[in-house]
Amino acid sequence: MLEKDCPRNKRFLPIHCHITKEQFPTEELIHSWRSGDSVDQYIQKYLHWEKAENELVAYCGYGYAEVAVPKSYDYLIDQNDPIGGFEVKATVTQVLMNTILPYDRIVHGYKMVCIITFEKEVPAVLGGLSHFEVADMKRRFGLCAKADKELILDRLSQADPLL
């Protein structure tokens, strides 16, 4: 499903936990999945990437729609915040489909690891994210468009906290 066809109350990229560089797939593993096609440029970008201070590598669960990267968001939902979160400038710059293969988009229905670049710094509330191995995967944080936040918060308040 393309993002434009996704209901606005579902256009939400969860941030479940963070992943360290040591957990990243190796070049050999990546090439065992796919080589020689149109994603090679994304593989090369990933292999030469170095994490910056204003970046977060997050396990984001299943993609809500087909979304080309880079993809910018302007609101961080925090379900523990009394008003539901706050404005941010964040861009998903890279994606690992099925947590292994660098790809050109968030893929609907596949598990995603996303490299997220924040305009200034990673928000302090995300500093307490669990590591992948010990995360409970309960939905608390996520990125969305500010224009959609109320619709998303309403849907999330009625949904199972696991995604």
Taking the chain (163 residues) in runs of 10, the rounded mean pLDDT of each run is 95 92 81 64 85 94 94 96 95 91 91 95 92 76 97 86 47
SS3 assignment, position 94: strand
- For 39-50, give the secondary structure using H, E and C: CHHHHHHHHCCC
Tokens 């500010």 belong to residue: 146
Q: What are the backbone angles phi and psi of residue 78, rounded to the nearest 5°?
A: -130, 105
In this prediction, residue 26 carries a pLDDT of 82
Beta bridge partners of 67: 106
**CA-CA-CA-CA torsion for 163, 56, 132, 159, nearest 10 degrees?**
-10
CA separation for the pair 72, 38 (Å, rounded): 23
In this prediction, residue 38 carries a pLDDT of 54
In this prediction, residue 116 carries a pLDDT of 97
In this prediction, residue 53 carries a pLDDT of 95
At 76-112, the pLDDT tens digits run 999 889 999 999 999 999 999 888 888 899 999 998 9
Q: How many CB atoms lie within 10 A of CB 7?
A: 13
